[in-house]
Amino acid sequence: MIKQFITIIKFMVVMLLFSIGSINANAQIPLNKYSIQGNFSIPNLLNSPAYRNIFSGIVSTNLSFNVHTKKGLYGKIGTHYVQNKTANSRNFNLSVFEVKHHIISPLAGVGYEYNNGGRMIAGIDFCYLSSFGKYTRSLVPDTVTTPYPPLSQHFNELALTGYVSLFTDENLSFGINLGYHYQFIAFNPYPYYFNVLNSTVNYYPQMGKFNSYFTFGLGFQYHFSPFKIQPVRNVSSS
């Protein structure tokens, strides 16, 4: 986990330095007090060997409302959604059994955003997520006579995200983002019929590790201000 976390931080720092290095001297940067930010990405499962060998990441998306300051710092609130499923897994006969894992997470966080005085902006943020997970099943194996009740989860999650984007006009920008999520919950196969499938037995010793994943995708951000005359912050190259 530590190596993965350090790699993510290094990449995000490089993105910020690239943006800062291209700053225009004495630029006047408009400060929009608010922004709406969203992204769409693909999750890649990491830490838990049992979970990532059974599930594949399908989609990750989030939407947030941000409040900015003149120093570049901002706070954010929003929601995050991720879906994983057993499709493309070599451990199941999918004509018999398939499971989807849905996670919806209200979030709150802080971040820093930098504008180079031109079209480019770069940012990094750290968020806490209160996550609610639920599994859905398509079919039940014939060997199960008494179905298990659906299991709902509630767990904590931390996320670190970096992004670089370009303005297409004075308010709207599009770009790329990279994120890392760490979930304080370990995979348990028993409520989902996995214990009746022999192919999962080899993963039982690996159940204890918490789940984590990183995301890479595309996003947008719309900056706006409730005032007609927007304040500016001075930026100099000194």
The enclosing domain of 167 has a CATH number of 2.40.160.20
Q: What is the pLDDT of residue 174?
A: 95
* Residue 127 C-alpha from the chain's centroid: 10
Count of C-beta atoms within a 10 Å radius of residue 48? 23
Domain contains 104 = yes
For residue range 194-204, list pLDDT tens digits in order. 554 445 445 55
Between 22 and 166, residue with greater pLDDT: 166
Domain contains 25 = no
CA distance 60 to 214: 10
Question: Which domain does 74 fall in, by range?
Answer: 2-20+41-226
Between 12 and 215, residue with greater pLDDT: 215
For residue range 144-193, list pLDDT tens digits in order. 545 555 667 899 999 999 999 999 988 899 999 999 999 999 887 655 55
Domain contains 32 = no
Where b means 16+ CB within 10 Å and e means fewer, 157-180 reads bbbbbbbbbebeeeeebebebbbb
For residue range 28-48, list pLDDT tens digits in order. 455 678 999 999 999 999 888
Say if CB 218 and CB 174 are below 8 A apart.
yes
Domain contains 28 = no
Between 51 and 126, residue with greater pLDDT: 126
Q: What is the mean pLDDT of the chain?
A: 77
What total number of domains does the chain contain? 1
DSSP 201: G
